[in-house]
Amino acid sequence: MLNRLPQLKETPSQTAGPYVHIGLTPNFCDIGGVFAQDPGKTMLAKDTAGQRITITGRIMDGSGAPVSDAVVELWQADADGKHPQASEAPDSAFSGWGRQPTDGNGTFVFETIKPGAVSGPGGAMQAPHVSLWIVARGINTGLATRLYFADEADANASDHVLSKVLDPRRRATLIAARSETQGTPTYTLDIHLQGENETVFFDI
């Protein structure tokens, strides 16, 4: 007869700890000799095709305080709507991926290009967007969300993913406002980890 096995308990979760900046962006923390440049710091090359834009925002906790030790990763299609990691021979001068730490004010900044529309379920086109992944002290599992562009209202209205967010007030937490600085569009989206204005996060 087989011995009866005791019921196993779930392994405790662990957060990313207070060392996310040190491990992922050491040069930002004035730690040299690990990488010549922090991975993901630069997404663009001199001959990258597409409209240059800036994506920025702040990460804030449930009380509205800035999260100064978060790291944000950005994934996106190129200007033609092709993913640089795919086999569609996209723009080789564009990585489609970036990584930036937040500063003391919880602010992150990406210099990139406006992504093209990509196909979604059933071949329907999705609105131009970027995917964001956030880690920080106190977060057990990285948080996944999207950033859409306020000046793509028609495309946003028919986007398959945005339409799954039934409350328009919640949908608004994914749409970045546009401004312009010296001819370069800047899209700003603040990300609230908890609280009344909590950003929509995706279970992926």
- 181 phi, psi to nearest 5 deg: -130, 115
Q: How many CB atoms lie within 10 A of CB 195?
A: 12
Residue 53 contacts residue 168 (beta carbons within 8 Å): no
Asked if residue 201 has pLDDT above 90, the reply is: yes
Contacts of 59 (CB under 8 A, 6+ apart): 66, 67, 70, 72, 102, 106, 108, 134, 136, 190, 191, 193
* Domain spans, the chain: 39-192
pLDDT at 87 over 60: no
Maximum separation of any 2 CA atoms in the chain, in Å = 78
Q: What is the mean pLDDT of residues 105-128?
A: 93
On the question of pLDDT at 143 being above 60, the answer is: yes
What residues contact 157, with CB distance under 8 A and at least 6 apart? none
Element (H, E) at 22: helix 20-24
DSSP symbol at 33: S
Q: What is the pLDDT of residues 2-60, one digit of tens each?
A: 566 667 676 666 667 667 888 888 888 889 888 899 999 999 988 999 999 999 999 99
Residue type, 131: S
CA 86 remoteness from chain centre:
19
Asked whether the predicted pLDDT for residue 177 surpasses 90, the reply is: yes
Q: How far apart are CA 42 and CA 133, in angstroms?
A: 17
pLDDT band of residue 92 (cuts 50, 70, 90) is low
Q: Cβ contacts of residue 105 below 8 Å, gap of 6+?
A: 58, 66, 68
**Please, which pLDDT band fits residue 133 given cuts at 50, 70 and 90?**
very high
What CATH number is given for 39-192 in this structure?
2.60.130.10
pTM of the model: 0.88
Tell me what the mean pLDDT of segment 94-122 comes to: 94
